[in-house]
Amino acid sequence: MKYALFLGCKIPSRLPAYEASTRAVLAHLGVTLVDLEFTCCGYPARNVSRDGFVVSAARNLALAERAGLDVLTPCTCCLGTLRHAQVLLDEDAPLRSRVAQALAADGLAWSGKAAVEHVLPLLARLIGTNKGATVPAAAVSVPRTGLRVAAQYGCHALRPANVARFDNPMAPTIFETLIRATGATPVDWPRRLDCCGDPLHEGNPPLAEHMTRAKIADALASGAEVLCTACPHCHLRFDAVQSGAPDPSLRTLLYTQLLGQAMGLPAKSLGL
């Protein structure tokens, strides 16, 4: 199994542990990752130019297509943005031809062949929590029994569901199932599907902070020991709000780190 790894802008510079743990866990499960010369997914461009956003996204999709690979991303915002661009390209013919023109300047073309996938559903297929798994759940050798974990889904993985095609947007289960697969116990928390506040941290810092703190308080009140993330934006947001405090009141852990621990992979390879 082979994917083009799309890390996006945040992971390499701000959260290298996510890259390390994603690579470690997927290597352990026999997935080959290829690095292409990807650029920004296009998310920041949405605020200034719809065409600019789709061109930015389509360039990446076209690169993967040229390499004959599907795209795998650990970032839910990149997932949402790339899939959003695919939908727009599908439904808007004039946009498609404008984008084709822009891509042609770089000798690229988009035809929609390269699919975009997030790490979580792939892991769900691989470690046997879904039908058609290729690796048995026994890949987990050091179960994290007893650890109470709150799943942070991330908006752009879930909504809009017709674009993200990730899980049931009202009652998703995939993240909790994956947590259970590591031996840990998922906690039910009322705000689990809420926004982490990250998109507002520059435009309206007080509002962003209220949103993040509300989630942290809710997870703590629901008995979580760990807040488990699958998006660099959410993860860094929770860390940023809690930084400065002597001990973060709610520890954040990337899902790939949690799974890596359960698989008995060395902490260093997981960026821990």
Q: How many CB atoms lie within 10 A of CB 249?
A: 11
Nearest distance from C-beta of residue 52 to another protein, angstroms? 4
Question: Which is nearer to another protein, 21 or 81 (by Cβ)?
Answer: 81
Nearest distance from C-beta of residue 121 to another protein, angstroms? 18
Contact 150, 192 (CB under 8 A): yes
- Kindly state the tokens that stand for 98: 């404008």
Question: Which is nearer to another protein, 88 or 258 (by Cβ)?
Answer: 88
Nearest distance from C-beta of residue 84 to another protein, angstroms? 8
Q: Can you state the angle between helices 16-28 and 119-126, rounded to 10 degrees? A: 20
Give per-residue burial for 42-74: e unless 16+ CB within 10 Å, then b: bbebbeeeeeebbbbbbbbbbbbbeeebbbbbb
Nearest distance from C-beta of residue 221 to another protein, angstroms? 17
- Kindly state the tokens that stand for 144: 């994290």
Q: Which residues are near another protein by CB under 8 A?
A: 9-10, 12-14, 39-40, 42, 44-52, 55-56, 59, 92, 95, 98, 102, 105-106, 155-156, 158-161, 169-170, 194-195, 197, 199-200, 202-204, 206-207, 210-211, 214
Question: Which is nearer to another protein, 181 or 219 (by Cβ)?
Answer: 219
Question: Which is nearer to another protein, 118 or 144 (by Cβ)?
Answer: 118
Q: Work out whether the CA dihedral 163, 166, 170, 175 comes out positive or negative.
A: negative
